């Protein structure tokens, strides 16, 4: 049965959609803009973000769609985005994480962090924490994390694949497990401040550009599966938009497949705490490096 589209007055809301130049992210941003929200579309390249902004503004006739650069692979970019956003916007009502990365080849950031881990796990975690004050001040606010249905292979002791043979698919699956566990760990920490954290698998299969770097038979299999069984980006955007805006959405710390709640995996509290501590340590170490204008040891806000 087709879902009833969400139609809520968001004219008083400010929303950030990371990966907003991508297929699903753009449709999420389009829907939020159509409901009147101020929407900040981000992308690693400002030209791509601005192209998405222009497309969304034209289709919704909204003058409240903005473009900002946010490159999770570049730590100064994360800090610059958070600082600039805080200077320009008093509120942050909705933060949607739709940016994602996958590659068959091992790539590193300028800080020598494995790219998939940085873009899918560490970067979003840092941004959540840097924008915590804005989210608290805007409560009731929401964070919506998009994840893929494929998750597993997490090795907390070797997140960068320094001790394992690198496998792009294993790195992606690891990042998705970590994203699920971190969102679940973040939810109770933010709930006490009136911030609802939701975790969403938009669809079992989506026609997107996430696997554009695949090669050989894997590329062919993914292309065929996407074409035959994949949901369109517009259809996949339905659940994240609903979680971001619908007034009847239940409190967070749940996993959704579309608009249906499903059993959340990776519920081991002790292992989740180990992961949380590991990522906090990685984030604080990364953001304490020279070049961001801090004095002393950087600490992410609670």
Distance CA 105, CA 101 (A): 12
| pLDDT for res 119 | 97
Strands 195-201 and 260-262: unpaired
Residue 124 has, within 13 A of its CA and on its CB side, a CA count of 30
Residue 75 has, within 13 A of its CA and on its CB side, a CA count of 22
| pLDDT for res 6 | 83
* Mean pLDDT of the region 157-166: 96
Bridge partner list, 67: 41
- Mean residue pLDDT of the chain comes to 89
Which tokens in the block code for residue 59?
């289709």
| pLDDT for res 228 | 42
DSSP state string for 99-157: -----SS--B-TTS-BHHHIIIIIHHHHHHHHTHHHHHHT-SEEEEEE--S------GG
Using left for φ > 0, alpha for ψ between -120 and 50, and beta otherwise, residue 129 falls in: alpha
Average the pLDDT over each of 92-96, 157-161, 246-250, 257-261 and give the range with the smallest value.
246-250
**Beta-carbon count within 10 A of 294 CB:** 13
Which tokens in the block code for residue 174?
């690891």
Does 5 score more than 80 pLDDT?
A: no
* Mean pLDDT of the region 192-212: 77
Phi then psi for 18, rounded to 5 degrees?
-75, 150
Does 189 score more than 50 pLDDT?
A: yes
| pLDDT for res 296 | 43
Give the model's confidence band at 82: pLDDT under 50 very low, under 70 low, under 90 confident, else very high: very high
Cβ-in-10-Å burial (0-12, 13-18, 19+) of 215 comes to: exposed
Q: Are 50 and 58 in contact (CB under 8 A)?
A: no
**Higher model confidence: residue 215 or residue 4?**
4
Angle, alpha carbons 146-210-244 (nearest 5°): 20
């Amino acid at each position: 049965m087709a879902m009833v589209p969400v139609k809520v007055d968001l004219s008083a809301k400010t929303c950030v959609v990371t990966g907003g130049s991508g297929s699903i992210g753009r449709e999420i941003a389009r829907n939020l803009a159509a409901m009147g929200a101020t929407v900040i579309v981000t992308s690693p390249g400002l030209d791509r973000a601005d192209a998405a902004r222009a497309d969304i503004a034209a289709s919704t006739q909204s003058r409240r769609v903005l473009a900002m650069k946010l490159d999770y692979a570049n730590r100064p970019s994360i800090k610059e985005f958070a600082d600039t956003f805080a200077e320009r916007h008093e509120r942050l009502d909705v933060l949607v994480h739709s940016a994602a990365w996958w590659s068959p080849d091992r790539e590193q950031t300028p800080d020598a962090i494995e790219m998939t881990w940085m873009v899918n796990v560490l970067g979003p975690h840092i941004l959540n924490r840097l924008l915590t004050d804005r989210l608290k001040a805007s409560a009731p606010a929401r964070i919506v994390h998009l994840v893929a249905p494929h998750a597993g292979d997490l090795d907390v002791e070797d997140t960068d694949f320094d001790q394992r043979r690198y496998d792009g698919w294993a790195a992606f699956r690891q990042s998705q497990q970590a994203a699920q566990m971190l969102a679940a760990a973040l939810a109770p920490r933010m709930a006490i401040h009136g911030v609802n954290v939701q975790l969403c698998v938009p669809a079992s299969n989506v026609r997107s550009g996430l696997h554009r770097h695949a090669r050989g038979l894997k590329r062919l299999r993914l292309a065929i599966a996407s074409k035959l069984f994949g949901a369109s980006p517009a259809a996949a955007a339905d659940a994240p938009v609903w979680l971001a805006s619908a007034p009847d959405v239940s409190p967070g710390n749940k996993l959704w497949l579309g608009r249906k709640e499903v059993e959340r995996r990776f519920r081991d509290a002790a292992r989740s705490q180990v992961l949380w501590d590991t990522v906090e340590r990685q984030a604080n170490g990364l953001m304490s490096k020279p070049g961001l204008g801090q004095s002393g040891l950087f600490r992410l806000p609670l």
